[in-house]
Structure 1
Amino acid sequence: MLALNLTNDVSEVKDGLNTIAAFLGVKQDPNGIPLEVNRVDGHTLRYQFDGEKGLIEFHSKSSFFRLLNLWIYQYQQSGSFSLEEEEQFEKTGVMVDSSRNAVLNTDGMKTLINYMAKLGLNQVMLYTEDTYEVKEYPYFGYLRGRYTEEELREMDDYAFALGIEMVPCIQTLGHLQLALKYQYASHIKDTSDIVLVGQAETYEFLDNLIRSASQPFRSNRIHIGMDEAFGLGTGMYQIKNGIRNRFEIMNEHLAEIVKITDKYGLEPMMWSDMYYRFGSKTGDYYDLESKVPQEVIDNIPEVDMVFWDYYHEDEAMYDIYLAKHQAMNKKVIFAGGVWTWNGIAPNYGKSFETTKAGLASCKRNGVKEVFATLWGDDGGETPVLSALPGLQLFADLSYRKEVDEAVMAQEFEHNTGYPFKEFLLLNDLDETPGVMANNINVSATSKILLWQDPLLGLFDQTIAGHGVENHYQKLAKKLKVITGSNSDLTLIFDFYQQVAEVLSLKAEIGIQLKEAYDKNDQNLLRDKLADAKKLKTLLNELRKAHRAVWMAYNKPFGWEVVEIRYGGAIARMDTTVYRVEAYLDGELTKLAELEETKLPFSNPYHLGEGTHGRGLYQDMVTAGKLSGV
């Protein structure tokens, strides 16, 4: 524990320092190393040590904790130093998805906030579609791990001590399917996931949501969502009002929402995409030909516009879309992303390339607020803290004009206890042979191969000939000998090591079963039968490892969805054993599943080159219908 004697007025950071001292590995001691602390007005930040005493010049609480962390790192590396940084943005933060089944528990959120403090990130949004308590509606967030008001206040207090603004991030138009599926909401629905615009009861409902979401927090800002409302005005609204211009419906609804935010003294921001989708002939947010009429722009109420883009690697694309947004005469906020929603593993290559391009464009175009989204699409299978390498880059680009990746890697190891290159091994779960460099076309290889059926193998033809089994065998060995020792993150690496272990045996089992069956090679069939029996055990061990990391960071709600997937995988492996044994014993004269000629995988996603595919769980496990009428 490094002993420091902080001098000058430290009252602003005292509470935060007490909160995070153990995490930083320091203690305050009058006999410790003298460290002068000065608050400055400008955005140039300094941290120094001359061999006897130190200096930190900070601009805000959040920048203080970043500089203190960097000061500690440099002190441990060298005898003396004099370094500076410059804040590139006024706000730089993180948005955590708490709506895709994985809801961070309070300890999990505090752990993430600790890492954010080390990095100097100063804003965190909780994306909660229905996972916050609204006392008027007991079914809102029912059995979904919704946050209580007390939990939200506790997290806000914790973040505030470290200079981090916690902002509610909700939905007030679409993405509300789980909230609207109950009887209480039947009269305020346009479609299954969109509220009925223009109804007094709808705005009473949304008033209660906005009040409940915002009152636990100090911040007077709120993200009101409103993205991807594709069916706006096409359901019950159309029955009641006929076909109307959807720009007009959008502006009318937004005006009502802004009345509510004004009532509570809140400053709203919203996702911007629906304006551009309505202005596109194809409904594409990134359609270069999309046009938002000037009269529509003139009638948009006062709200900040959040431009979200974590897809493009070309700075010019961000320049074009930022210019489009700035023409709306609203404050523009940029949302990038660390790809925690690719599947079961993070995609650092895509994250790094899009982050570098997006933030470079933001700096050039005068954007003052940025944040990184950590979505959890299709079940929240990826642990949130696996995003740390992407957050390190996002933060460093927020304090430095350019980032030296070698320096970043060294500082990352100081921050996490793990060499950067060891975290990057997680890239290899999806960036397998046959996948392009940096996984730019977002192949979800590990998710595909974990969940796909051993007999039906929807992706077998797509991955055949790429040697993915051998790839996972090598990766499993590498992950088994990693040197990091941070207890916060150990469970994550235990989980991913077991993912690689399972895939080293499961990745090509369907291909091998089909080959053995077609050749009537009974010896190979018996070998694969033995593998299938072993995989039943390995899949169950993987389930336990995944459960351990989930329960460590998340509330237990939502785990049932992932566990059902494991149960299905284990049961289907058991049926594979049952079917193959029956065939080998002569009880069956053929295996209908293996009589089929396998086709390359096809779904609505444009897969492009250099990817084995992606999609939702339901698309990976069966060609049939998983659920529904």
Structure 2
Amino acid sequence: MNQTAKLAWRESDTPEEIAAALRLLEEEYPISEGGRGLKLKFRKLNDAENVSRVVRNRGEVTIEYSTLSGALRGVGSALAKIDGEERTSFSKLGIMLDVSRNMVMRVEHFKKWLRRLSLCGCNEVLIYSEDTYELEDEPFFGAYRAPYTIDELKEMDDYADALGVELVGCIQTLGHMEQLLQHRYYSSITDSERIMLVDEPETEKLIRKMISFWSSALRSRRIHVGMDEAHGLGRGKHQTLHGAENESALMTRHLKLVSGICKENGLSPMIWSDMFFRMTNPGHEYYDYTSPFPAGLKKEIDPDTQLVYWDYYHTQASDYRKMIARHRELGREPVVGSGIWTWTRLWYDHRTTMETALPCIDVCRQEKISELFFTMWGDDGAYCNYDSSLAGIVRCADLAYGDRDENDSADRFEAICHGDYGAVIAAGEIHAKIKDDFEVLSPMLMWDDPLLGKYFDSCKRADPEFDLAYLDELDDILCRIMPAAENRNAGDIGYAVDLIKFLMKKLELRGALEAAYDLGDRLALRELVTTTIPAAIAALVEVDAGFRRNWLQCAKAHGLERIQIRNAGQLARLEELAVRIREYLDGTIERIEELDERLPHSVVPEKMNRYKEVSGGSWIN
């Protein structure tokens, strides 16, 4: 691993926009105005592509660039001692950060991320916020969710702009609004549990407020208005009030309204494209390559609205190529949203990211797509250690600029994120494949009820010896990351160590519990009560403390309660398991009912990825 280079610059040799960015980067990096270090010089190129070229010569580093983002990527390369030319066809490259699924990133931590993004050559961040922003005279909008104030967003926007990054609001104006619609205050605009009521004046009134807010909060004249996965559109209160109506007609009419409001506010809208594809086939499938679009749909979609093609599942380049072609059938050049896998993960999942993002990036480069971003969702609670995903951002940015050498990514990650790339990637292997069609999700194992063992049982049906194989894999990961356990800069490796230790103890506990109970081995059951269960509880206490530490460093306090409740529930159920075993051993109860109920191995394993699916027999939270 390279030692980070020291860089120096002079105002007289530096364009003003680059100087402004360097002054912000000086807060953290060994970059100084007029100080000691390799002398930075900048030369602007006239090139249609985004070029970043770094030339090192006798104590000087010359950065040749065509855009500000290319220049700052060059600074990142200089810090990492990476020379040479890189170029990308993407005029916009960045991420979409989900701040709606429980976690709202703190302003100062967001600024830290912006510094890293700029040094990767990224120039765009979409802030995905369903209701986590404050609207005037809307007391329940974002209530108890730590919404951003307009002043916070303006501060973030000013900082981003100085680093050459465009902040774009990414909201919802139709579906995915269940967090807001849970409040009876909004019953008048509710079509169904997740979908707003179209053709309703009160809905229009609220949407006007939402779009006006983002127009005022950010300098960008673009906005993402969502409208994806609006399953059952018009089938709730709208149908009661107005009768059944074609979903396509409702969608295009509502889009026309929302697009018009955007234009009134000087904004150009973009939307997720899936609903227009789902309308073409009976199964409402998005990734449909053959079904014809309804006659006239191309004309009905507002011509000034960009379509965003999202795909973080396919692993074959041909799928991405077909979907880009399908969007072009609608007369649109799509924006593409890939994914850096943070959702339903306790730690950034590099394997799945590379399996899906790499073919997407390659096809987008070949097809000359101009805008690509990487979604970072927080489904089911945003419990991922988000800083670990910086490794994915660095790697995906390198690939977007044409650098396929992962050693460069490791050096860049160390220089700009101060993390251990190998350890972060290795820790992500806790998300393991035990068969081609079955994966072990570590959060589901973590929160699997200790008495019911629903998730453990499902994994056993996929592979009767999954626990032994997974234990072996976890032990291997632990050995590889232990040397970096003190590094918390870009993924808290010590926390990852604690996670793995708990997962191993829980696996061992469940395997020993089933064997001892089935055999009636009273001595082994007593050992579980006196040794194994207390060890698992102690390990979980460490995990919970580490999670709290990382959460409060990264995010506002609201949302932490959801994960603490899960962990506390797990602790209570581990304690209950010990009580039940003692009662069984002393004859208070004749059997442990939960342990008697296990599905036959012939039953198809379920692919569970939500806390409610593993934490109990019912879905009652």
The TM-score bracket by the shorter chain reads over 0.9
SS at match of 1:443: strand
Of stretches 367-376 and 448-457 in structure 1, the one that deviates more from structure 2 is 448-457
Residue 517 (structure 1) aligns with? 517
Q: 2:366 aligns with which of 355, 364, 367?
A: 364
Return the letter of the residue paired with 1:445: L
| Cα shift readout 1:48-69 (whole Å, capped 9, x = no counterpart) | 1221433111222222111012
SS at match of 1:341: coil
Residue 243 (structure 2) aligns with? 242
Residue 14 (structure 1) aligns with? 19
SS at match of 1:324: helix
Report the Cα offset of residue 444 of structure 1: 4.4
Indicate how the Cα distance of structure 1 residues 37 and 442 shifts in structure 2: closer, same or farther if over 3 A, else same: farther
Return the letter of the residue paired with 2:451: L
Contact between 2:339 and 2:375, CA under 8 Å: does it hold in 1?
A: yes
Contact between 2:365 and 2:400, CA under 8 Å: does it hold in 1?
A: no
Residue 168 (structure 1) aligns with? 169
| Cα shift readout 1:441-477 (whole Å, capped 9, x = no counterpart) | 5724311211111221112332441212343344334
Indicate how the Cα distance of structure 1 residues 455 and 356 shifts in structure 2: closer, same or farther if over 3 A, else same: same
Q: 2:441 aligns with which of 445, 451, 468?
A: 445
Report the Cα offset of residue 389 of structure 1: 2.1
Aligned length: 606
Contact between 1:350 and 1:442, CA under 8 Å: does it hold in 2?
A: no
Contact between 2:414 and 2:420, CA under 8 Å: does it hold in 1?
A: yes
Return the letter of the residue paired with 1:520: G
Residue 323 (structure 1) aligns with? 325
- Equivalents in 1 of 2:259, 2:389: separation in Å? 33
Of stretches 49-58 and 514-523 in structure 1, the one that deviates more from structure 2 is 49-58
Report the Cα offset of residue 435 of structure 1: 4.5
Q: After TM superposition, list the pairs within 5 Å mapping 1:355-504 onto structure 2.
A: 355-400=357-402, 403-431=404-432, 434-436=434-436, 443-461=439-457, 462-463=459-460, 464-466=464-466, 467=468, 468-482=470-484, 485=487, 487-489=488-490, 492-504=492-504
Consecutive unaligned residues in structure 2, runs of 5 or more: none
- Equivalents in 2 of 1:229, 1:147: separation in Å? 25
Return the letter of the residue paired with 1:265: G
- Equivalents in 1 of 2:595, 2:386: separation in Å? 39
- Equivalents in 1 of 2:199, 2:441: separation in Å? 45
Contact between 2:146 and 2:556, CA under 8 Å: does it hold in 1?
A: yes
Indicate how the Cα distance of structure 1 residues 388 and 324 shifts in structure 2: closer, same or farther if over 3 A, else same: same
Return the letter of the residue paired with 1:2: K
Contact between 1:166 and 1:217, CA under 8 Å: does it hold in 2?
A: yes
Contact between 1:4 and 1:31, CA under 8 Å: does it hold in 2?
A: yes
Residue 187 (structure 2) aligns with? 186
* 1:55 paired to 2:59: no
Q: After TM superposition, list the pairs within 5 Å mapping 1:30-429 onto structure 2.
A: 33-42=38-47, 43=49, 44-74=51-81, 83-301=84-302, 302-400=304-402, 403-429=404-430
Report the Cα offset of residue 161 of structure 1: 0.8
Report the Cα offset of residue 560 of structure 1: 0.6
Report the Cα offset of residue 314 of structure 1: 0.5
- Equivalents in 2 of 1:52, 1:98: separation in Å? 43
Report the Cα offset of residue 345 of structure 1: 2.4
Indicate how the Cα distance of structure 1 residues 589 and 215 shifts in structure 2: closer, same or farther if over 3 A, else same: same
| Cα shift readout 1:454-509 (whole Å, capped 9, x = no counterpart) | 22111233244121234334433433322774x5336x222211110111110242
Contact between 2:151 and 2:217, CA under 8 Å: does it hold in 1?
A: yes
Indicate how the Cα distance of structure 1 residues 519 and 304 shifts in structure 2: closer, same or farther if over 3 A, else same: same
- Equivalents in 2 of 1:584, 1:174: separation in Å? 52
Report the Cα offset of residue 32 of structure 1: 5.0
Report the Cα offset of residue 411 of structure 1: 2.7
- Equivalents in 2 of 1:614, 1:71: separation in Å? 45
Contact between 2:7 and 2:39, CA under 8 Å: does it hold in 1?
A: no
Report the Cα offset of residue 38 of structure 1: 1.8
Consecutive unaligned residues in structure 1, runs of 5 or more: 76-80, 608-612
| Cα shift readout 1:549-596 (whole Å, capped 9, x = no counterpart) | 001000110111101100110000010010001112222222112222
Residue 598 (structure 2) aligns with? 597
SS at match of 2:26: helix
Indicate how the Cα distance of structure 1 residues 319 and 260 shifts in structure 2: closer, same or farther if over 3 A, else same: same
SS at match of 2:63: strand
SS at match of 1:294: coil
SS at match of 1:132: coil
User: Sequence identity, in percent?
Assistant: 30
Report the Cα offset of residue 599 of structure 1: 4.1
Return the letter of the residue paired with 2:619: K
- Equivalents in 2 of 1:5, 1:624: separation in Å? 62
Q: TM-score, normalised by structure 2?
A: 0.93
SS at match of 1:588: coil
SS at match of 1:334: strand
- Equivalents in 1 of 2:435, 2:430: separation in Å? 11
- Equivalents in 2 of 1:621, 1:265: separation in Å? 47
Return the letter of the residue paired with 1:20: L
- Equivalents in 2 of 1:227, 1:74: separation in Å? 43
Q: TM-score, normalised by structure 1?
A: 0.92
Return the letter of the residue paired with 1:621: S
Contact between 1:444 and 1:614, CA under 8 Å: does it hold in 2?
A: no
SS at match of 1:109: helix
> What root-mean-square deviation, in Å, do the aligned CA atoms of Structure 1 and Structure 2 show?
2.0
| Cα shift readout 1:315-366 (whole Å, capped 9, x = no counterpart) | 0000100000011112310000001003322221110121111111112222
Report the Cα offset of residue 404 of structure 1: 2.0
Residue 623 (structure 1) aligns with? 617
Report the Cα offset of residue 198 of structure 1: 1.1
Report the Cα offset of residue 187 of structure 1: 1.0
Of stretches 237-246 and 423-432 in structure 1, the one that deviates more from structure 2 is 423-432
Contact between 1:277 and 1:290, CA under 8 Å: does it hold in 2?
A: no
Residue 78 (structure 1) aligns with? none
SS at match of 1:414: helix
